[in-house]
Amino acid sequence: MLPNVLHRSASDHVPVLAEEVRELLGVAPGETVVDATFGAGGHSRLLAADLDGDGKLIAIDRDPGARTYFDRFKAAAGPIQPRFLRGEFSLVLGQLAANGVQADAILLDLGVSSMQLDRPERGFSYAADAPLDMRMDTAAELSARDLVNEADERELGLIFKRYGEERYARQIARAIVRRRAERPFERTLELADTIKQAIPTPARFGDGHPAKRVFQALRIAVNDELGALEAALPAAVRMLRPGGRIAVISFHSLEDRIVKRYFREQARGCTCPPEFPICICGNEPVLRELTRRPLRPGTREIETNPRASSAKLRAAVKVVD
């Protein structure tokens, strides 16, 4: 029997910062919208409603499970006839840009989606016993099991430190290597228990589950999430028409830092050294930031949807062709 989440109506999915996204993207009838991380389609439904039956919507997702949600979305979408493209969003956006496809509004909702978290068998959760997987694209070669069982201690420590900002990264990596010498890791709870035992007892009762940061780090590494984001942003901006808007929802500081830096660089224009009396580079700003500070969910949204608590939304508008 399929998990309950697949029997829900797509309308049960609650998109994060929904009204803020609608306001910043300002979709109007006749425009072309790209939802580069379709997931269960929550944001796409809202943006399609703003097209009011006149325009185009391109949905992108690397997870094959997203197709089920897209088919439901398409059946109710009316005359806009949305299009689904399966693949990692930076690659798909790059291909669209190379083929001259233009957009008026592009959304990237980063991180793991509800449809992935709500299916324990996908191996994203440290709270349910499941195969150690974490692949957003189930056809991808590298899984969390491969990484945990094959990466050396130093590489594991660096992954936990960089992507999870884990204080006890070295101790956890050492414990994993010691444990896998006895038998390889196969299940999520095996790994979660090893992590818990590797850190000092007081730290086990801190903020959240003791395996939270390591599982996040493994997921980011397995799916190359930061590399994909760095490649996706320039591809998305190339697609935008002048006046086109881009909005990005991130869920941890590493993602937000990449988005912030890229938007600031593209909004700066001149790259001449500050001591130059006049600009000689001739570079003009490509973007204008719509959010100097990221927008955060309000108390009411977090109470309704706790997964929104760490979300940050940044947006920009393209000012040149």
User: Which pLDDT does position 13 carry in this prediction?
Assistant: 62
**Phi, psi of 130, deg, nearest 5:** -160, 165
Residue 216 pLDDT exceeds 90:
yes
Fold of 122-223: DNA polymerase; domain 1 (1.10.150)
Domain limits, the chain: 4-115+225-318, 122-223
Mean pLDDT of all residues in the chain? Answer: 90
Which whole-number Å values give the CA distances from 6 to 43, 112, 119, 131, 307, in the listed order? 18, 17, 9, 20, 19
Q: How far is it, in rounded angstroms, from Cα 152 to Cα 187?
A: 19
Tell me what the mean pLDDT of segment 257-266 comes to: 96
Confidence check: pLDDT of 12 > 70: no
The pLDDT of residue 272 is 80
How far apart are alpha carbons 283 and 271 in whole angstroms?
7
CA dist., res. 62 & res. 140, Å (int): 10
The tokens for 38 are: 């379709």
Q: Which CATH class is domain 4-115+225-318?
A: alpha beta
| Position 4 confidence tier, pLDDT thresholds 50, 70, 90 | very low
Check residue 115 and give its pLDDT: 62
Output the pLDDT for position 3: 32
pLDDT tens per residue, range 152-181:
999 999 999 999 999 999 999 999 999 999
Q: Which amino acid would we find at residue 123?
A: G
Residue 126 reports pLDDT greater than 70: yes
CA atoms of 199 and 211, how far apart (whole Å): 10
Q: Looking at residue 8, what is its pLDDT?
A: 37
In tens, the pLDDT along 80-105 reads: 989 999 999 999 999 999 999 999 99
Average pLDDT value for residue range 271-292: 86
Q: What is the pLDDT of residue 274?
A: 80
Give Cα separations from 193 to 188, 199, 278 (angstroms): 9, 11, 60
